[in-house]
Structure 1
């Protein structure tokens, strides 16, 4: 997928420099989102396309206003990272009415209870995203290989923000892999966070106080796992820590240091480049099919497979 993207990006038409693309991430407060913007800007620069990035700072209202600004500017294509999947339907509809191709990145547009990640909202040119069910499943396969076999394993799950549709998918995929492997386990604790290391540490402290015999903790992202590793160390716990949403520099370091067993490779910078590619295709080839789903492979990251995830955000 990435190779095909690169091949397309460097071969723009002569009028490429006349194009302007806009990107509205959810918030540039988070390294993951910054990496998507970096990938987008790098791909745009390589293709001679002007890139405009507007940061709504975590506000749905500001995201809507930023998209309105891009419509007023009459940009040639728009990408955005949805803050609210349902509200984002109206954003996409408005861009469609303005005849501006729109690509969503990382998160689904539409009610996740009714629309699967690989079934993008019809108004989108494309949804460019990590398949979070698959990411959770890969984590579950990893967990199944290391859970104790002599008793029913106790597992705690450090969730992301439940407002994000990916949270449900991460857990569903994780459990599906454990069930398929015939693992004997019990989820004894689950708690949401705001995706930060500090909340990861606090949640894991609570888990280990209530369940000092936890066998494994599954984190929905590297960020919370970093904090969770501190809590495990402070409690002198023997719980094994794994995550999905991995590939960060801090996550790599934690795996190499033995503080975390493993994670699953996610590549936000590549997502940004793939988003640009989808926007470019939609803007320059009007007959490009709509509602495409674009993703990439997600290998496990463990100490002996650290180089299988080249991107460190």
Structure 2
């Protein structure tokens, strides 16, 4: 995979050097040396990890996966910056990383469009950029690692159409942060999945921005606005759990079915919620943290010139029938 953009010939300037792999030379108007030109074993590497929002349990696990994997690579040091779901702060975090001379950037964007420019800036400076979980616009990055959110949403929809609500029913959708690619893709996929069962109707959609407490408040409002709700399709497990709590407070937790996405193998995660009966199902959405560090090692230590532009992580449907087994297989923490 080539890091550089097309070489442009300008009358007043020599042709720019096409950067390939980690053998990079930067035009260097400021006299600096491109961080990725120093690949190889026995070196120290600073990796900036720009996280969208540490308050989300999924992102805490992602950070843990990145840090755990990085500790196994001699010379790797990871610095994590929490954007706290603030686009402008995340832009500033990346700018700060660039000023520190990072050798590689891992970023999970809060939203796609607002982060596209600064990701491109890093990439144009010759810094390898791994976009994790959520996408940016365009292709000015080294590699993307994440799940297929359309496929995951479709799998959830098919589960509703064939198993959860085969006779049809009224569904409310609690969606992720507007502007984030997983929210749009999980919504699209779900609609594709339920299309085979015209008796299923989405009666309301509301964002809870991936957060449990907002899922609870959104569900509370939906319960008051909707005379009948048969099921809740939440774009992640914390929002599904929040919706369950609101329904329980209203005495309706047994009359409504709940599903989520993430399936984190931790005691507070979605797999345990399924095992304990609060959720009917969840769908695995791997963090990609370990895979990101594996790729970073190939780029920085092994000096690999060609890496995959996109890596799609696998998923699985988890119900009460396989929850205990899935928890163990995914390395569940007791």
TM superposition score normalised by structure 1:
0.83
Would you say 1:58 and 2:85 are equivalent positions?
yes
Counterparts in 2 of 1:262 and 1:293: CA distance versus 1, 3 Å? same
The TM-score, its normalising length taken from structure 2, stands at 0.78
> What residue in structure 2 maps to residue 168 of structure 1?
184
Q: Which residue of 2 aligns with 1:3?
A: none
Partner of 1:196: 211
Task: Name 1:118's counterpart in structure 2.
Answer: none
Moved more, 257-266 or 139-148: 139-148
**Residues 204-219 of structure 1 mapped to structure 2, 5 A cutoff:** 204-219=219-234
Tell me: CA distance 1:32–1:219, structure 2 relative to 1, closer, same or farther (3 Å).
Answer: same
Q: 1:286 to 1:90 in 2, by over 3 A?
A: farther
Residue of 302, 305, 329 corresponding to 1:287: 305
- Whether 1:41 and 2:67 are equivalent positions in the alignment is yes
Distance 1:212 1:245 in 2: 29
1:159-196 alpha-carbon deviations (Å, 9 max, x no partner): 122132211111111111111x3352111111111322
Residue of structure 2 equivalent to 1:97: 124
Return the offset for 1:234. Answer: 3.0
With over 3 angstroms needed to count, the CA separation of the structure-2 counterparts of 1:194 and 1:100, relative to structure 1, is same
Residue among 10, 29, 38 paired with 2:55? 29
Change (3 A) 1:104 1:184: same
- Asked if 2 retains the 8 angstrom alpha-carbon contact of 1:261 and 1:303, the reply is yes
Q: Does 1:78 align with 2:78?
A: no
Please tell me the root mean square deviation across aligned C-alpha atoms, in Å: 2.2
Q: Which of 259, 262, 265 does residue 278 from structure 2 map onto? A: 259
Q: Give the count of matched residue pairs.
A: 286
Closer, same or farther: CA 55–205 of 1 in aligned 2, 3 Å = closer
Structure 2 CA distance, aligned partners of 1:58 and 1:159? 15
CA deviations on 1:88-113 (whole Å, 9 max, x unpaired) are 22112211232111111111111xxx
**Which deviations, in whole Å up to 9, do the C-alpha atoms of 1:25-57 show, x marking residues without a partner?**
112222211221211111111011122222233
Does structure 1 residue 178 correspond to structure 2 residue 194?
yes
- Asked whether the 8 Å contact 1:78–1:100 carries over to 2, the reply is yes
Residue 238 of structure 2 corresponds to residue 220 of structure 1? no
The 1-side partners of 2:221 and 2:331 are apart by 32
CA separation in 2, counterparts of 1:55 and 1:136? 27
> 5 Å matches for 1:230-309?
230-237=245-252, 238-247=255-264, 249-250=267-268, 251-268=270-287, 271-283=288-300, 284-285=302-303, 287-289=305-307, 292-306=309-323, 307-309=325-327
- Distance in structure 2 (CA, Å) of the matches to 1:19 and 1:184: 55
Matched, 1:109 2:125: no
Q: How does 1:116-131 map to 2 (within 5 A)?
A: 121-131=138-148
Q: Structure 1 residue 207: deviation in Å?
A: 2.4
Structure 2 residue runs of 5 or longer lacking an equivalent are 1-38
- In terms of fraction of residues, the more helix-rich structure is 1
Give the drift of 1:299. Answer: 0.5
The DSSP-based 3-state class of the residue aligned with 1:288 is coil
- Higher relative CO (CA 8 A, sep ≥ 6), structure 1 or 2? 1
Which stretches in structure 1 are left out of the alignment for 5+ residues?
Answer: 1-12, 111-120
Partner of 2:10: none
Structure 1 range deviating more: 209-218 or 39-48: 209-218
Between the aligned partners of 1:74 and 1:256, the Cα distance in structure 2 is 46
